[in-house]
Each structure stands twice: as C-alpha cells, then as structure tokens.
Structure 1
C-alpha cells in the first residue's frame, strides 16, 4: 500500500471505500473491481473492508477493536471534527456522510436563542490537496448563486485555521427520493409529479449556467413534507466559461449507475449529461430498478455497457424489480408494464440515448413530455402519428367524447336511414337529398363538438378514439358507391378536423378523397363545391402554395356570386381567413389589411353570423396592423375585444388565448415589452394546459416571446423558446414558412446576443433552405438577417449583395413600412464600408434617414451607423 502522504491515492481509496460500504456484502468484490482500474487502490480498499468486517464481528470483544475502527475511518475524520468540536459558530453533532469530495457533518448553532441545524461540508484533513480544496470552494460559489425552493440553500461559509474551506447548507431531514416513493407507495402519477419538481430544480440550475453531473437518488432527498431537495454540487460544472475545463473537474467522482457515456469516456459534458442522469432516476422511479445491473462485473465490462449497450425499456424491466408494482398501485407486473409501455418507455429511452445530441435538448423539453403524459396530451416523439393525438384528446376529454360518441351513433343512424331510403326509393330523389343533407349536418355538428371539447371536464368513462374511428369506418362502408355526395361531405369534414389537429398528411388524403367523390357528382350543391374549394385553398395556403390557394379562392368566390341562395356562413368566414392569410404571406400586406377590413365590416353586419365567429378575422387583421405600422389601431380593437370576452369566457379559453397572442404582438411593436411578456406568458400557459405542446399556434407564440426575451437581455431563455418553436415546426413537417422564421430568429439571437457570426450564418442558411419559393416575405427577412450578419462579421461585399437582393421582396412584403427604411440603411452602410459613397448616398435619402432616427423599435447601432454615414459624406 502506498504511504499516507500520497493524498491522491488516499482520496481514491476513501472514495471507493465509502461507495463499497453502501453495497450489499456479496456484491462488494465485484463492485470494487468494476469501479477502479488501479490495482493498488483495489488492494487498499479490500484490506480496509477486511478490517472493517472483522471489527463489526468482534462487537468490541477483541482487545483493540476500537483502535481498528478508528483506523478504518481515519480517511474521513480528524480530531478537530469530532462530535462537540466547534467550527466558527457551529458545533458538530455527528458525521452524516463522507465521499470523494468531502465530509458532511450535522452541526448546530444558536440563532436568536433557538438551535439551527445545518449540514456542514468540509475537506477531510487527510485529503486537503489544492485541487480538492479549490473544488469545495467552487461548489460553495455555485451554491451561493442558486436560490430555488427545491435546491438545498447555502446558509454560511468560512475557512478553518489550516485553510480548509467549509460551508453550511440547509439540513434536509429526509430520505432519498426512490426510498420515499417506495415507503409511501406512490402511484406512477405521484412519482412523475415528484420527478417534475426535480426537473424544475435542475432546469433552474441550467438557466444559471450550472450543470450538476451527479444526479442520483442519493443526491435527491424528499423531506417529511414531501418537498424535494437537490443536494451535492461537488462535481458540478459552470457553463459560463469561467470555470475549469472538464478534465480538471470531476476527477472520475461520478456514480456508474447514473454516469452518462460522455462522462465515462472523458468527453465534454453538457446539459445532455444531466438529462441522462434524470433519465436514470426516471427509469428507477418507473419500474423499480436501475437501467443497468453492474453486480459482480469488471470495470471494463461496466464501461463497455455504458458506452454501447441500450438498456431495456422500463416496461420490460418490471419483472426484475422485486415486486415494485405493488408499491406503484398495480396488482401485478403485467399491469405496471402496460402502464409504462408507450409514452413513458419512449421518454425514458430518449433520455438515455448514447449520443448527447439525440437526447432531449433541454430539461424543460423533458419535463414538458412528462407533463403531457400526466395531462393525456401527445408527447413530442409521437406528434405525427395518426390517431395518437386523437387518442390523447379522448383521454383528456372523456365526458365530451362520451357526448360525441352519442352524436356519432345518431349520425350513423341518420346515415343508415339515408342509405335505406335511397335503396327503397331511388326515384324519390328529393327525399334522398334531404336525408343526405341532414346526415351532413349531423357530421358537421360532430366536428364542432370535437373542436369545442377542450372546455369540458373529464368525469365519465374512458372512451377510446379507436371506437369512434371504427364506427366512422363502418358507416362509410355502408354508403353505396353511387352516393358520392355523402362521401364527399364526410371526407371534407374529416379534412377540416385533421387541419385543426395539424395533421396535414391525413388532411390531404381526405381532401383527395373528397375531390374524387366531387368529380363523380355532377349535380353537387353550391355549398358542397364551395366547401371543397375552401379545404383545397386552406391546405395550399398552409403549405405556402399561394398560387394554388388563390385559384381555389377565386373559384369559390365565383360560385357564391352565381348562387343568390347560397347560405353557408362557416364557409364564408373560413374563406375570408384563408384569403387574408394568402395575401399576407404571398407578399401583399396592404391588400391583406384592406381585404380583412372590408370582410370584417361586411360580415359583422350579418344577423346570421354570431360575433364570436368573427374573432379570428379580427385577430388576423390586428396582427397585420401591428406588423405594418399601425399597432395603436390594433391595440384599440384588441383591448375592446378582450374586455368583451372576459365577461363570458374563462381566462384559458381558446378565444381569449388568441386575443392575448395578438395583444402580445401589438405591445411588442409599441415597445411595451413588459405588457407583451405578461400576455404572451399567460397565453402560452393557457394553450399548454388545454392543448399540449405540438401545435403550430403554440410555436408562433413561443417564437414571439423568445424574440422579446433576447432583446431585453434574457438570451438563453429566448433561445430555448425559439428552439422549442422550431422543434414543433419540424415535427409538424408542414410549416416550412414558419420553420424559416424560427431559423431567422435563432440567427438574430446568435448574432446580436452571442456575437457568434458563424452560427448566425448557419441558421440563416437553414432558413434559406426551407423557405418556400412563393413565400416572398420570408425571402426578404431571411436575406436581411444574413446581410446584417455579414455586416457584423465584416463581409461588406456579400452583405450588400444579399441586402440589395432582399429589397424588392421587402417592398413587396410591406410596402412603404419602416422595414424598407431599415433595409436601405443596411445597404447604405455596406456600400459606405466599401467606399462606395455614391451608393450609400443613394440609399440613405433624407426620408429614410428621418425614419431611422425616429423609429425606436430597432437597436441603437442601426441608427448610429446611419448617423456615421450622414456625418462622413455630408448628408
């Protein structure tokens, strides 16, 4: 054995010895071999364990046994830290535990005549090398910057006379989270709720640029009140660039049971490392055992398995968890496995993937998926599965779906009656048409019931979505092939439902079926033909095929104009929304505003259209006004609307959420950032509560709030929100225009906040790659974003090319708005830096210079560049 003066050696011996004592007796030998490749350390630990076991067996009957025990614990004790010793104002009561990063004592002090218990951490005397002392000081500094109810707080700090640092932390009288859950027999939902508290604490630390890197059950306690406490930042890592590198931090002091592959391999750690640790914790909470069983395995085998082997899904590990199902509220292993199979298996698997980039991008994203499971909402990994969203919807809204099922039975009966009467009285065409129209009305009622189902409470029995889908399939199968009008009506209705669920592939398939049926129905009604054009136009507009959308809209308008008897108010409102959307994103904002004003004014005069049905039209109009220089006008309309809505609707109603989103845009354009943040945060919270996190509407709000955060100095939070919006858009796979917008937003954050011009260029390039050919507005803004990045990085020639190519599209997209002046200012500055003073003078006209001086929405440096040019070339 090496001499006691070799502190590095003894530190490793102590750490392994402490860990070995926690293992069951038969498993210690295998654990020691697997945990250390240093034969000298293994020999020393084995000798200490032998002495320790002999001492326990003597029960102090052997003379000198007490001295042996003292020798065993010499590594973690010294005379100045025995019970009764005083450190500053603290009196040591007992040793709570010790490990490679220091010893923790229960200590007390008097505060206003009352004892205060603390957990006192200090470097053991035998291990006081410079690196470990610095590590403890670093842990103390990290804790000083953390203030979260679920993180044990720092109370006091100081140093001993010999220079060793210590700090006093909040003493948590609790038990490790896994033991707590088992002792209290918490059900799966209760365990997941507790896990979310842990996620919240870890996410808070990440927002403060701190990684924990040792997230194991022993470092997460639950007190007697059921509150989580995250402990032990001994090997934590700061991500703000001021701490030491990975190679000098953890020194191998991590637990194999929760160590991420990059830790074991000695590679750089990051947020994904903590996500892996959370995954190990989640795995054990779910099924009662760890992802891997390393009992009696050599170190090389342990490392090999962590680096290369994927653990089985939790549902398959239930069988090896020694009756854990009864502690989770399940009668048998089969029942618990069924509860874990699906979403929870997928979440656990994603947290434990080998490449860090394949795990969740943030703890918040992991937590959101867990919340989605608790709320019966779709998780991100399965958002594109047909029927899966509907199954989640049914689980969330059992009462409403029960009502909808009853309506479906009525609809099937009505369809059956129509079919029967068609067979018996083919000659009575008028009767058959009446029955088909009645059946169409019932189906439309069913769609409306699904759209509004989120406002109901879930109280009745669970009705599976597959029952509804099978019933609908049977009803369609009973329709004779000759009854194409009914087939078209049902397919159009299904297409509308899929569009509202952001399931574009399924919507396109139903639209195709409807078109085929319409082609075989020469005498189709005007209403049916208009609905078909509306479905085709909406799909085209959402997929940025604006020419196709315009063609379908014109065809629908012609049909309505030719039939004075046409009365389908829902179709008219939908057509107005689709046309406003198409005009806006095809690069005609002024026309969009004028059209939406006319449509809104005309439709609200109609007695057959409820005012609430027109609120989406008003939202689209106000968003256009906010974007194109009239946010004050938008604000007046929106505040009036919100006051009206709050008299009849709860704050988390879908209509109120839409108004809050529009208000956020108006406030942002008026530089009322605090108001914008308030309404957007409320809108996002309400949307998540009702609908989950896999919808394009949520992505729009996240990007908007993220942009504001980045402008006010909260760039990491802003980036996280924009990345979540991007994830949603990429998952939907039909939001290419929006995807380009989110890439642009990331380019701005990396350029303006992080000054990472290479990353900004990369994001701008990705935006170009996904921008639809007909989305001229996106082309304008992406080109400008890239031009500004090139200016910031000194590439003035390329900047001028991109900015000048964007100008025609910007003029087309927003007419004579401030955005055009802003882009001209960029071109002028690029030309100025290329010594093309005539080119700069041509762009920086007096009108544009005045606009830049008075327009305060944009950063100060834009105006300063313009002033520099003006002074230099004499404008």
Structure 2
C-alpha cells in the first residue's frame, strides 16, 4: 500500500557510488556491450508522487508521464544498496521484464538514468493489492476481502499466475522468487507477476520442448560468482534445492515448488514453512515435513491464535483435490513434483471444472460421484423439476378422470 510520502524530482538522494557511475558513463560513451550501457533523458517528463514501497535494492514511486499523459510506477535503485551486484540485479530485472510480454507480467516501458545519475526503470502502475495482503485480510476476518475473494476467485488468480510463469519458462526464464507478495491484483481484477530481480536464464535451455521458442538476449544472462549469493529467494517459499544453494538443480521445477507454496497459503492462510528467523525457516524446510493442508481443516477452532477459521473455503474445509495438487507441487523430490507448470495448471483446471485431478489418485467412487453431482448440479435440478412437473401433471390428470366418472 502507498505510504503517505511524496518525492521531489530533484531530491531523490539515490545516487550511485562514484565507481559504478564511472562504469556507466564509460559504457554509454563507448557503446560497449557490457550490460551496463543505458541512456535516457528523464528531464521534466515525469512528475513524481507517492512512495509505493521499497525493499531489496529498489524503491518504487508513483509518477505521472507528461509526454503520454498516463500514470506509471518508477523503480529507482537505492543508494544504500547500490553495490555492483545490486546494480547488475537491477539492470537484469529491467531487461528480462522488458522482454517478457504477457498479460499477467507487469510491462516495462523504459530503462534509463536521470540527469542526477539515478538509475531507474518505468513500468505500468497497477492500482490494487498484493495477494499476500488479500490472504492476510481474509485471515484477520476482513469482511470486504472475504466477500471479494472466495476460493473460486483466488483460484482464478492462481491460474493466471501459472500462465505467466509457464510463458516465462517457455522463454527460458525462471523467476526464483515467486510468493504472494510478488503478485499484484488490480482493482479491476487484472493480475501481474512482479519482481524478476532474481530471475535466471535456464542453463543450456535443457528443458526446451520441440517448439520453436524466442530466447532472451544473451546480455541478460548473469551468473552469480559469489558463494554467499547462492541461496537466493524467499525462505518460506523457496524450494529445497534453492535452500541448499544447489545451482545445478535449480530450474523450472523450483518455480513449480514456489507455486505450490502460493497455493498452500491460499488454502491454509499460512506459508509452507514458518520461523522467527531466516535460518529457522530454512532449517525447518530442510528437516521437517510440510504439514498437510487437510490438517488445518480440523484445527480451525480453539483458543490458539494460529487456529484460523478458513472462512473463504467451502464449508471452511480444504478441498481434498486441491490439497493433493498442492502437496504434489511441494514434493521435496524433483522427480515427484509436477515436471512443468503446465501440468500443475492442467490439474487445477480439471479441479475447477468439477473433476478429480491426476494428483488425487486415491479418490474413491464416492468422491467421483460427489464431483459428478457437483459439476452437473444445474442439469440435475432441471431434470428433477421436469420429473416433478410430469408427475404432478399425471396426478392432476388422474384426479380429473376420477372426478368426471
């Protein structure tokens, strides 16, 4: 949510260290393909407004583009985080986001440097809330959030996120920091996946299908060469292979795991792993089994403040099929997970259509029959009404015949 703070064009105070500025000037002057060269004229084009948020190396500010008369969001690199690695991440995020053109990936309009030598990029301004804010609102009993976002609406949001991530994978990009806080939901229902700062190109494109795909430009590729930078992502949602820093195993299935974590929070209103510190979260993730979502249906009562009633779910209970999909995506073994986001998305769509998904292999005949009733309930009601009408007509006819006799 926007903080009540405005920013003047000439007082950003986000200048980079002199050595980085020297690199940028040299790259711009020489036109060398170093990954640093960028050029733009900020001038009087943008009128800056409220600070929308800050975190990591970036600070996002609402602005008005005077040239085309539209509201935008501008992300600046923060001076207190402006190391060379932070700058590389910032530029990589801009270049990758700029090439991922999808309805559910926030579009980027411009990358440049102001007259004050502040690095920025301009993107679409999405007026809304994050999925994390939606789920937290439901958790604390916000009536507006509960009414606006029942489970079917949340699953539509989740499916759109899957579509965006599947598209990115087809372009050879893995996100590596998928979480509810990086999903924006606009007031008109549009969904945007944001924060591609940790994204990587798939090494060697090993998972490419036989389809002809368009690759991201080579200058976007960035190999982390520092041991301490190997563990990247948000601990509560990152995959086990990310948690141990195994870069050889990190890939598209790591994003599948994170999507499973997002679905887990949609169902239970909790992250798959919690802890007071990052170390505690990572230790729990690596040494403990994730609590099955179905168990939360049984614990949504009592005096424990963590026992939250799942008011957004049918009968306040986690649907078995969705729990099965969630746990398959969250399997610690890569081979047991969904191998592609498309496979996860297909199971979700099967569930939303009223069928039993492949992940829920243990479903008995009674559940299949229940799902049959659920997906055909309108037709069944119409048939019952028709039968009732026919029987009523027969009875009336018989009574009339009896009366005439």
So what's the TM-score if we normalise by structure 1? 0.34
* 1:238 aligned residue: 201
Matches within 5 A, 1:367-446: 367-383=345-361, 387=365, 390-391=368-369, 394-395=372-373, 398=376
Matched, 1:257 2:220: no
Q: How does 1:336-355 map to 2 (within 5 A)?
A: 336-337=316-317, 339-340=318-319, 342-355=320-333
When Rg is computed on C-alpha atoms for both structures, the one with the higher figure is 1
Where 1:380 maps in the other structure, the secondary structure is coil
Q: Determine if the alignment matches structure 1 residue 305 to structure 2 residue 284.
A: yes
Q: 1:184 maps to what in 2?
A: 145
Task: Please give the residue correspondences for 1:338-737 in structure 2 after superposition, counting only pairs within 5 Å.
Answer: 339-340=318-319, 342-383=320-361, 387=365, 390-391=368-369, 394-395=372-373, 398=376, 458-460=379-381
Query: Structure 1 or 2: larger strand share?
Result: 2
Please state how far the C-alpha of 1:137 moved relative to its aligned partner: 1.3
Structure 1 contact 310–353 (Cα < 8 Å) conserved: no
Q: Return closer, same or farther for 1:287/1:127 CA change in 2, 3 Å cut-off.
A: closer
1:316 aligns to 2:269 (yes or no): no
| Alignment-derived partner of residue 126 in structure 2 | 172
Q: What are the Cα deviations for residues 137-180 of structure 1, in whole angstroms up to 9, with x where unaligned?
A: 11111011111111110111112457653210111111111433
* Superposition deviation, residue 392 in structure 1: 6.6
Q: How does 1:41-80 map to 2 (within 5 A)?
A: 78=13
The one-character-per-residue Cα deviations of 1:189-222 (angstroms, maximum 9, x if unpaired) are: 2221221111111111111111111111111011
Alignment counterpart, residue 310 of structure 2, candidates 284, 304, 325: 325
- Taking a change above 3 Å as real, the CA distance of residues 233 and 262 of structure 1, as seen in their structure-2 partners, is same
1:384: how far off?
7.8
Q: Distance between the aligned counterparts of 2:156 and 2:202, measured in 1?
A: 28
Please give the per-residue CA displacement for 1:301-336, whole angstroms capped at 9, x wherever unaligned.
Answer: 32221113221111213436554422x155xxxx32
Looking at structure 1, the residues matched to 354 and 76 of structure 2 have their Cα atoms a distance apart, in angstroms, of 46
Aligned alpha-carbon RMSD (Å): 3.1
Look up the match of 2:59. Answer: 103
Separation of aligned partners in 1, 2:383 and 2:83? 62
1:155 maps to 109
Alignment partner of 1:128 out of 65, 75, 82: 82
Partner in structure 2 of residue 847 of structure 1: none
Q: 1:461 to 1:117 in 2, by over 3 A?
A: same
**8 Å CA contact retained: 1:133, 1:164:** no
Q: Secondary structure at the match of 1:245?
A: coil
Distance apart, 1:460 and its partner CA: 2.8
2:383 and 2:178 map into 1 onto residues whose CA distance is 37
- Tell me the residue number matched to 2:182: 219
- 2-side partners of 1:329 and 1:384: how far apart? 22
Distance in 2 between residues matched to 1:169 and 1:148, nearest whole Å = 14
Q: CA deviation at 1:245?
A: 3.1
Following TM superposition, by how much is the alpha carbon of 1:397 offset from its aligned partner in structure 2, in angstroms?
Answer: 5.6
Other structure's SS at 2:90 match:
helix
In the alignment, structure 1 segments of 5+ residues that lack a partner are 1-76, 400-456, 464-875
Secondary structure at the residue paired with 1:460?
A: helix
Other-structure match for 1:140: 94
SS at match of 1:255: coil
Shift in Å, 1:132: 1.8
Question: Which structure is richer in relative contact order (CA contacts within 8 A, separation 6 or more)?
Answer: 2
1:290 and 1:172, CA in 2 relative to 1: closer, same or farther beyond 3 A? Answer: same
Superimposed CA distance per residue, residues 599-631 of structure 1 (whole angstroms, 9 cap, x where no aligned partner): xxxxxxxxxxxxxxxxxxxxxxxxxxxxxxxxx
Distance in structure 1 (CA, Å) of the matches to 2:309 and 2:190: 23
Within a 5 Å distance, the mapping from 1:827-866 to structure 2 comes to: none
Aligned to 2:258, what secondary structure does the other structure show?
Answer: helix
What is the CA-CA distance between 1:99 and the residue it aligns to?
A: 1.9
Whole-Å separation in 1 of the counterparts to 2:328 and 2:225: 27
Question: 2:355 is paired with a residue of what secondary structure?
Answer: coil
CA distance in 1, matches of 2:117, 2:383: 65
Structure-2 change in CA distance of 1:385 and 1:99 (3 Å): closer
More helix by share: 1
